[in-house]
Structure 1
Amino acid sequence: MSTTNAPIAKKATREGFGDEIVKLGKENKNIYVVDIDIGKSCKTTAFMKELPNQHVNVGIAEQNGAGLAAGLATTGKIPFISTYAVFGSLRMAEQIRQEACYPFLNVKIACSHGGLTPGNDGGSHQAIEDMGVYRTIPNMTVIMGADYHSTRKLVEQAANTYGPMYLRFTRDAVPMIYDENEEFEIGKAKQLKEGKDVAIIANGDTVYLALQAAEELEKEGISVKLLDMHTIKPLDREAVVECLEIGKIVTVEDHNILNGLGSAVSEVIAEEGKGKIKRIGVQDRFGESASYEKLMELNGITVENIVASAKELLR
């Protein structure tokens, strides 16, 4: 893992998908990209140019793309549907439920522009409920890498693991946290810090904020356990139960606080019957046209609020 004292390099996680899918497609001719006509934004143009026989553009027709991908999967192909998160999770949700999850086909939904990172594209393009939608569908796996390198590793794992999967990427550049040699396992949280006073569980673009908050808390003598919960389904229940030995948990996500990471962790806490939690995320509201940073601030998804929430639990 890189340190936060070094100059901060940033790269959108959609770039990680774009680079990794080309590498995987060259290694495995069964890997296909089903584009919904926004390859430039979703970073699949290199795949289209280098592997045209493994690429299909269905136009602005998400539901058709889902059906085509399911058909490809029945023939042994490994299709990655590529579109924006808001369309990949909502417009084609029924097709994915009926045609990919129900028959348990090897379809991957690889979506850019997750959460508030589309910023100035406005509320219509900011997917704040996508991971929650797919978390409720049986047989689906839901993943969001924290940075460029983790995204590449998780895309590779997704390609090599059978079953329907939703992979969510950022539009905006986010700080690098990991180096290219870090290993990841779908369904297994990555521990960044060990601590005993408070636990912070984050995913996606909020992991770097959580890392900064943990360092601020440590300066004040507060010991922090920090997890990157890149897979929210299947959730690493064991990791959450271990956090309950501390008993005070803050969750951080760029997603509605309803039915996302915070809800998934809360379910474990309720079933175990112990522990306290503070959920930081989108406050059950639509986005608006503003910078990504401003939108995060409006929803309290900030280093300052993570620190304050941790201290409140400790009181």
Structure 2
Amino acid sequence: MSNIATREAYGKALVKLGDLRGDVVVLDADLSKSTKTSEFAKTFPTRFFNMGIAEQNLIGAACGLATAGKIPFASTFAMFATGRGFEIIRNSVCYPNLNVKICATHAGISVGEDGASHQSVEDIAIMRSIPNMTVLVPCDAIETEKMIFEIVKYNGPVYVRLGRSAVPQIFGEDYDFEIGKGVILREGSDATIIACGMMVNEAINASKLLKEEGINVRVINMSTIKPIDKEVIIESAKKTGAIVTVEEHSVIGGLGSAVSDVVSENYPVLVKKIGINDVFGQSGKPKQLMEEYGLTVENIINKVKEAIQTKQ
């Protein structure tokens, strides 16, 4: 099965959704070729709106369409959606609890050569801090499509974080995505790895190598960051006694912080966080950047071993 970027799957899912629902409209901020909303624009030109390089207007127009009974999907790069669009998202989308879906692509350092100005490593933290906002991060193309079809049925603000780089397929066509539920991909009792987005595949690969050394690790795909699945986190803390979180995002305010909140209040165990350690990104090839910032199978393995050693 070939690798597919979640942004590619998003573009295809929108077209499928558009065939089924006439109330779905799509907006973009002059980046439709990159966000892949251009596919929807070609198929449904009267239901697509290019707002130009004006992200606040992009979100504001989506709000207006939502109040008129449409289901707007607003897209641009994650840096601009959550950065330039923050005030409108807070005051015009989430405060009145409007049914707007913000699907931002090119998140994280895997944007690559575009560099720090375009590499959003703060977007999850920003979005999960806003009341009424649901925050989702699919790990592959299958989950992306299932997620898009699920959020159209959900009434309320949603932020979906999508990537530029192609990623391996993890789920089959029979997978059922559910908002607010983590998925256990591999079982184990020595430690738990909780990952999201493109780091889920790395977590799986790390667990396989650890298995060869006699270390059995539970792996969870936490594609819903908010509302997070407290039940599976607490269960994992009790069963394994140590957790390693892995995300292509700052260690401040993202998946690791959300998991730590749950653990500290319900069943305190060691949580080690792998992510961007309070620094900006830089220009480079995606693979080089992942290695530079420790988003690798090797680092996951080392952190798991450290966590197991500490709990003992």
C-alpha displacement at 1:183, in angstroms?
A: 1.2
Map of 1:97 onto structure 2: 90
Q: CA deviation at 1:294?
A: 1.3
Stretches of structure 1 lacking an aligned partner (at least 5 in a row): 1-7
Show the counterpart of 1:211.
204
For 2:283, the aligned partner's letter is S
Quick check: 1:20–1:156 contact (8 Å CA) kept in 2? yes
Q: Distance in 1 between matches of 2:193 and 2:125?
A: 20
Query: Does residue 1:290 correspond to 2:284, yes or no?
Result: yes
Paired residue type of 1:162 = N
1:201 corresponds to: 194
2:268 counterpart of 1:248: no
1-structure distance, mates of 2:39, 2:147: 20
Residue 56 of structure 1, aligned match among 49, 72, 89? 49
Runs of 4+, deviation exceeding 3 Å: none
SS in 1 for 2:125: helix
Q: Distance in 2 between matches of 1:169 and 1:274?
A: 31
Root-mean-square deviation (CA), in Å? 0.8
Question: What does residue range 83-94 of structure 1 map to in structure 2 within 5 Å?
Answer: 83-94=76-87
Alignment of 1:221-260 (within 5 A): 221-245=214-238, 246-260=240-254
Pairing 1:114–2:86 present: no
Question: How far 1:88 moved relative to its partner?
Answer: 0.5
* CA shift for structure 1 position 113: 0.1
Q: Which consecutive residues of structure 2, in runs of 5 or more, have no partner in the other structure?
A: none
| Letter of the structure 1 residue corresponding to residue 142 of structure 2 | H
Identity of aligned residues (%): 47
Q: Which residue of 1 aligns with 2:39?
A: 46
Contact 1:18 1:43 in 2 (8 A): yes
- Render the CA deviation track for 1:134-166: whole Å, top value 9, x for unaligned: 000000000010011111101111111111000
CA distance, structure 2, for counterparts of residue 9 and residue 45 of structure 1: 22
Return the match for 2:153 from 142, 155, 160. 160
- 1:25 and 1:284 map into 2 onto residues whose CA distance is 40
Alignment partner of 2:127 out of 121, 134, 144:
134
Query: Are the counterparts in 1 of residues 234 and 267 from structure 2 also a CA contact under 8 Å?
Result: no
- CA shift at 1:273, angstroms? 4.5
1:76 match: secondary structure: coil
- TM-score (normalizing by structure 2): 0.97
Does residue 312 in structure 1 map to residue 306 in structure 2? yes
3-state DSSP class of the match of 2:110? Answer: coil
Secondary structure in 1 matching 2:156: coil
How far did 1:9 drift?
A: 2.3
Structure 1 residues 241-285: Cα deviation after superposition (integer angstroms, max 9, x where no partner):
011111100000000000000000011111125211110011111
Contact 2:237-2:267 at 8 Å conserved across structures? no
**Which residue of 1 is the match for residue 258 of structure 2?**
264
- Provide the C-alpha distance between the structure 2 equivalents of 1:179 and 1:195, rounded to a whole number of angstroms: 22
**2:169 matched to 1:176?**
yes
Q: CA deviation at 1:184?
A: 1.0
Pick from 60, 63, 69 the counterpart of residue 76 of structure 1: 69
Find the aligned partners of 2:124 and 2:24 in 1 and give their Cα distance.
24
Deviations 1:147-204 (A, max 9, x none): 1111110111111111100001110111111122211101101110111111000000
Aligned length: 308
The one-letter amino acid of 1:56's match is: F
Distance 1:205 1:44 in 2: 21
Does the CA contact (< 8 Å) of 1:119 and 1:289 recur in 2? yes
Question: Hey, what's the Cα distance between the residues in 1 that align with 2:303 and 2:39?
Answer: 43
Cα distance per residue 1:183-226 (max 9 Å; x no partner): 11011011101111110000000000000000011111111111
Shift in Å, 1:33: 0.3
SS at match of 1:114: coil
